Amino acid sequence: MINIKIKYLVLVFLVPLSFYSCDEVFPEAPAENELLDGPMEDLAYSEQNRFLAGDVAFNDEVFTPENGLGPMFVATSCGSCHPGDGKGHPFTTLTRFGQTSPNQSSNIPPGAPQLQNRAIPGFEPERLPSGVPFMKFTPPAVTGLGLLAALTDAQILENADPNDDDGDGISGVPNYITPPDYFQPQWFHQSFSGKYIGRFGKKAAAIDLLQQTATAYNQDMGVTSTFESLDVATNLSVDPEVSDQTIRDVVFYLRTLKAPIQRESDASDVIRGQQIFTDIKCGSCHIPSWTTAESDIGALSNKTFYPYTDLLLHDMGPGLDDGATEGSAETYEWRTPPLWGLGLSQDSQGGELFLMHDGRAKTIEEAINMHGGEASTSRDSFEQLSKTDKQKLLTFLKSL
């Protein structure tokens, strides 16, 4: 009797479904420009396979105590901080502390530079030392990073103006970083007294994507590798918990993730908003377009792209001075964040926006109004716009 009832219930639910096409049952796939993930065009077959291997490691591999997690950590996978390859939620915000002056290398508190605020059973999460300055970093989107990595140091330096020689109120300085021992300079890197230009991270503290990736495994998940072998809980070198191949596959994945695709770029309000963006000098730091040089990956060679960043540090004023720093950056200096993908940010942030380096801004307009220091003139110009022009500028930014 029970089996007869089950069969009846199955028929009750399946028969009505048979009258609908698959298109009506399943939701329509989102358009390519509505997604941040996906490979770049023109990858070779072998490169596509390696992209997929990195995709699996980045988005599907979840660490547990059995396969290397912790004992202290912030997140259990790469994808949990960068859902859909987009910006992260404040739930996985990183706390960085310890260096209170540029180039500081001594008197760093134990446990610095990153707080591991979670722990596996049997261990205690790390606690922030009393009174120490700290910064909070909301995880950034990771799309298009390979194009930024393919730029030359010479290109980045072309926009640096440390002494504001042109008198426009905008300086822009690189963050010079002491490289880890596994760093292999490429032909486009330039050494400055043994240091190299950082280009990734909220303070531009990572020189390349290998350093960014190996450090994230180690400091975010407590997972050691041959690149970063120190256990975050004991500060002792331990056997690798993730392979070199996996680390390098993830680096390849990050290098070959497509750049965000702008939407409605031909709409009149978007075009007008872009012109306003230029007129009020937002593009002085958020430089719209770049072109790569030759790369070892053909799909990255000689490509013009539109990230809206100069990868340089700028004085953002006392309102954004968190009292802590990294590398040669001052406490009030922040790397210009890329604006591409901004309009899709809330898709990966739980339907809300958490902007600026620590997610303190809940709208794009609020983020603009938090700009100080070198950005004060552009901020004030935005405030003086008519309501209509403000909306058109915001429409442009949401199209990115």
In the chain, which residue ranges form alpha helices assigned H by DSSP?
2-17, 22-25, 45-59, 78-81, 145-149, 153-157, 209-215, 221, 244-256, 268-279, 345-348, 364-369, 376-383, 387-399
Percent of the chain with pLDDT over 70: 93
Which residues neighbour 130 within 8 Å (Cβ) at sequence distance 6 or greater? Answer: none
Structure tokens at 175: 């963050």
Of 293, 282, 382, 399, nearest to 336 by C-alpha is: 282
Q: Which helix (H) or strand (E) holds 176?
A: strand 175-177
- Does position 309 have pLDDT exceeding 50, yes or no? yes
Residues 6+ apart with CB under 8 A from 69: 63, 76, 120, 221, 222, 223
pTM here is 0.91
Q: Nearest 5 degrees, angle CA 299-CA 212-CA 188?
A: 50
Question: What are the pLDDT digits (tens) for 32-71?
Answer: 999 999 999 999 999 999 999 999 999 999 999 999 999 9
Distance CA 350, CA 391 (A): 24
Return the pLDDT at 30. Answer: 86
Distance of CA 109 to the CA centre of its chain: 26
HEC assignment per residue over 180-217: CCCCCCCCCCCCECCEEEECECCCCCECCHHHHHHHHH
Q: How far is CA 130 from CA 38, 97, 141, in A?
A: 43, 11, 31
CB 364 within 8 A of CB 353: yes
Task: Express each pLDDT in 222-275 by its tens digit.
Answer: 999 999 999 998 989 999 999 999 999 999 999 999 999 999 999 999 999 999
**Cα 42 to Cα 32: distance, rounded to the nearest angstrom:** 16
To the nearest whole number, what is the mean pLDDT of the chain? Answer: 92
Amino acid (1-letter code) at residue 66: E
Kindly report which listed range (47-56, 129-138, 368-377, 380-389) carries the lowest average pLDDT score.
Answer: 129-138
* DSSP helix, strand, coil percent of the chain (3-state; round to 5): 35, 10, 55
- Please write the tens of the pLDDT for every residue from 87-127: 999 999 999 998 888 887 767 777 889 999 999 999 999 99
First to last CA, the chain: 60
> What would the pLDDT profile of 186-218 be if each residue is shown by its tens digit?
999 999 999 999 999 999 999 999 999 999 999
340-364 mean pLDDT: 96
Q: What is the pLDDT of residues 162-187, one digit of tens each?
A: 999 999 999 999 999 999 999 999 99
Residue 55's SS3 state is helix
